Structure 1
Amino acid sequence: MKKAVLASAVFAAMVSGSALAAEVYNADGTTLKIGGRAEFRGDFIGSKGVEIPGSMENNSRFRINVGGETQITDGLTGFGFYEAEQGVTSSGDNSATTSLKQRYMYAGIGTQFGAISFGKQDTAGVQISQMSDDGQIWTGDQKKFIAAGDEQANNAIAYSNVFADVFSLKASVIASDEKNENGYGISGIYATPFGLDIGLGYAQNDFNALDIGDIDVTEQGKADQIIGGLSYSIASLTLGGTYTQGTYKFDNLSNVDFSGVELSGTYKFDNGFRIMAAYAKQELKDTVGGEKDILNDFVELTGQYHFNKSLRTYLSYKIDNRKAEYVDNNGNAADDTLRLGLRYDF
């Protein structure tokens, strides 16, 4: 592979914007692209795992991203990327949401030896969790257990390279401005010639406090995570699965283990219709008392229709398997979710 082509391939793999992003500038070796999406998401019955008191919760969103690349020499490029998202107030009046949520903001350099970038971006393990992140309601919770394995991490330094067109290697470091909050991670995905991708990653970070599930403490400690994934594509069928496990090691408390599994499948018909199915379960377990906290346990079924490359509509039903026993801190019981969506990509 030519050096310039490799640098561009690594950059394209790092940018998480829309594949339909429009090129608005191209001159003297410098390009600029703008992309994004406008998406209506109406949830009925339940939302975010709990019952909706009224008729519908509006979880619509708008994203916009800007990405640029400049050719410095043969095999040396510079790039930058920014993405923001705005939600909507779910109510029966005309209340407006004015704030933007920053998702990504980073800059970097691409070389024949790989690309290195600095800023708010995904850590190394995210390429593994994405192997099963294919639902319309769920959000790929495998990456949320520890900071060093999460997406959109602040103060991140990331390295990425593709070897022989078959092995994707990523490494990342979180250099926090707070004491005892640094972390690191590394992951790789090997693409076999018969459609099977195999991924494995590891991450570790220190923490000063922890707030996940029923754990809400200001105790220092360390956390580590192993994540593995498989993805298989043949003709119109794509299957994915990931498994993760790790431990929160508190300095003055008992340790807490975590584990998670996600499975997904998509079948594409020739007429633009797709059917999708997913399963996910994540849980915590106290290593001394043995108590369990089930963070997620559900099945999702989706029917999706693509009018063209830009416009799609879908109907998803999420079956929450925790309905019989789960109640959150506000006294809300778990419930299923029916989501109607219409998405326009640009």
Structure 2
Amino acid sequence: MNKKFLAAAIAAATFGTQAVAVELYNNDGTTFSIGGHVSVNLNGSEQDDTDVGTNSSRINFNATHDIGEGFTVDARGEWALNFLNGGENSFTTRLGYLGLTHDVYGRAVGGTQWAPYYDVAGVADMPIAFANDFIYDDHSNLGTGRADKMLSYRNAIELGEAGKLGFGLGWQGAKDKFSRNDKDQIVDGANYDDRMQLALSYSIMDAKLGYTYNTGDFTAFGSKKETAESHLVSAAYGSYGKGLYVAAVYGSNENMNFDGKTRLADSDTYEALVAYALPSSLNLSLNYEMVEGKATKASSTETAREQMAVQAEYNFTSKFVGFAGYQFDLNDANNRKTDDKWAFGARYYL
């Protein structure tokens, strides 16, 4: 790892890939900033009425502190803004962690965070309106997106003109996630044993390849112990929002994905994204996603999800973005009634 990677690691963890943060304090190796974004959109579908919605609005507080000998501590708290409904659930936790980064020894993080698995799986999860969905199937418990109560470690090896090798490790302890009725009786959910994950990546110039493995046992309510396991590979070229960007993801999974509320015993997941940002700041994209699998080991393979979206994003300024998207529901298996969706709105980065 080097100083360039150190700065990039903290910046990515603190501010995110697309966020703009306002630095309120910077003195003697200590910084404090506020970031996030607020989105408002009109959205609807073939089966639902048009409504006013929001798209992953959030606010975060970020701090870094240079503790010497090449070590930097950083902390982040991030909350979803459910401002359209108000009430007591206006804020819900998205992220909360403490990190320690060194220019040689790498980066360790403890708390609710973006998992190493997502470093590889999230390369196509870019557009504002419609993006990757299968990553978020039970993601906080399985550690595929924002992972609850995780310890992680990341580092990278610079190879000069030959590129860069990166790796990450993640661990989550055992926990219960059960739903109860008004009589305090368990009606749904699962008990999760310890989970482990590994992420590997190789990048050279504008190209990146990645592989990640995620495993751990769980016991669903009223069922026997099973293993939830995923092997996933990805490839990407370019930088989203800057000229051409292409990304593709494939995952082979057991008990990781869902068909509605049913957990699939086996599943294959596919995601592809092609985007091109014009010099005028107009970013056009096309993305495709499919999940196919079996409800049980003995059942036949069926399509659980298949969709394609055409989208546009326009940067009026670096902090204010307009977006529009139309998602085609392609899953008409077994005479299923499809439900195309659309969204049109704006996002303001704090």
TM-score bucket (shorter structure): 0.7 to 0.9
The TM-score, its normalising length taken from structure 2, stands at 0.83
Amino acid at match of 1:104: L
Runs of 4+ in structure 1 deviating by more than 6 angstroms, as ranges, are: none
Residue of structure 1 in register with 2:230 after alignment:
225
- CA distance 1:25–1:255, change in 2 (3 Å): closer
| Contiguous gaps of at least 5 residues in structure 2 | 177-190, 257-262
Deviation of 1:279 (Å)? 0.3
Does the 8 Å contact 1:137/1:339 carry over to 2?
Answer: yes
Does the 8 Å contact 2:72/2:101 carry over to 1?
Answer: yes
Does the 8 Å contact 2:110/2:150 carry over to 1?
Answer: yes
Deviation of 1:287 (Å)? 5.3
Residue of structure 2 in register with 1:213 after alignment:
none
The TM-score, its normalising length taken from structure 1, stands at 0.84
Map Cα deviations across residues 302-343 of structure 1 (whole Å, 9 max, x no partner): 12211111111111000001246465xxxxx43101110111
Residue of structure 1 in register with 2:21 after alignment:
21
- CA distance 1:58–1:13, change in 2 (3 Å): closer
Q: Distance in 1 between matches of 2:99 and 2:167?
A: 17
Q: Distance in 1 between matches of 2:297 and 2:228?
A: 17
Residue of structure 1 in register with 2:210 after alignment:
199
One of 168, 171, 188 as aligned partner of 1:170? 168
Deviation of 1:129 (Å)? 1.4
Residue of structure 2 in register with 1:330 after alignment:
none
Map Cα deviations across residues 264-303 of structure 1 (whole Å, 9 max, x no partner): 0110111111111000001221454333453320110012
One of 72, 80, 84 as aligned partner of 2:79? 84
Map Cα deviations across residues 213-242 of structure 1 (whole Å, 9 max, x no partner): xxxx64321111001000012871110000
Deviation of 1:20 (Å)? 1.6
Does the 8 Å contact 1:323/1:335 carry over to 2?
Answer: no
Deviation of 1:62 (Å)? 2.9
One of 201, 210, 215 as aligned partner of 1:189? 201
1:278 aligns with 2:287: yes
1:155 aligns with 2:154: no
Residue of structure 1 in register with 2:182 after alignment:
none
Provide the aligned C-alpha RMSD in A: 2.6
The correspondence of residues 290-301 of structure 1 with structure 2, limited to 5 A, is: 290-301=299-310
Q: How many residues are aligned here?
A: 319
Does the 8 Å contact 1:137/1:318 carry over to 2?
Answer: no
Greater shift in the superposed pair: 108-117 or 10-19? 10-19
- CA distance 1:278–1:97, change in 2 (3 Å): farther
Map Cα deviations across residues 119-147 of structure 1 (whole Å, 9 max, x no partner): 11122110111111123333423423564
Amino acid at match of 1:167: L
Does the 8 Å contact 1:10/1:160 carry over to 2?
Answer: no
Residue of structure 1 in register with 2:60 after alignment:
65
Q: Distance in 2 between matches of 1:184 and 1:196?
A: 27
Amino acid at match of 1:120: T
Amino acid at match of 1:14: A
Does the 8 Å contact 1:40/1:61 carry over to 2?
Answer: no
Residue of structure 2 in register with 1:96 after alignment:
86
- CA distance 1:41–1:325, change in 2 (3 Å): farther
Does the 8 Å contact 1:198/1:231 carry over to 2?
Answer: yes
The correspondence of residues 1-346 of structure 1 with structure 2, limited to 5 A, is: 6-15=5-14, 17=16, 19-46=19-46, 51-52=47-48, 54-56=49-51, 58-89=53-84, 96-99=86-89, 100-111=91-102, 112-144=104-136, 147-164=141-158, 166-178=164-176, 180-193=192-205, 195-209=206-220, 218-233=223-238, 236-248=243-255, 256-286=265-295, 288-323=297-332, 325=334, 333-346=337-350
SS of corresponding position for 1:125: helix
Does the 8 Å contact 1:21/1:33 carry over to 2?
Answer: yes
SS of corresponding position for 1:236: strand
- CA distance 1:139–1:208, change in 2 (3 Å): farther
Higher helix share: 2
- CA distance 1:145–1:245, change in 2 (3 Å): farther
Greater shift in the superposed pair: 316-325 or 142-151? 142-151
The sequence identity of aligned pairs, in percent, is 20
- CA distance 1:180–1:300, change in 2 (3 Å): closer
Q: Distance in 1 between matches of 2:314 and 2:305?
A: 27
Amino acid at match of 2:166: S
Deviation of 1:87 (Å)? 2.4
Does the 8 Å contact 2:314/2:323 carry over to 1?
Answer: yes
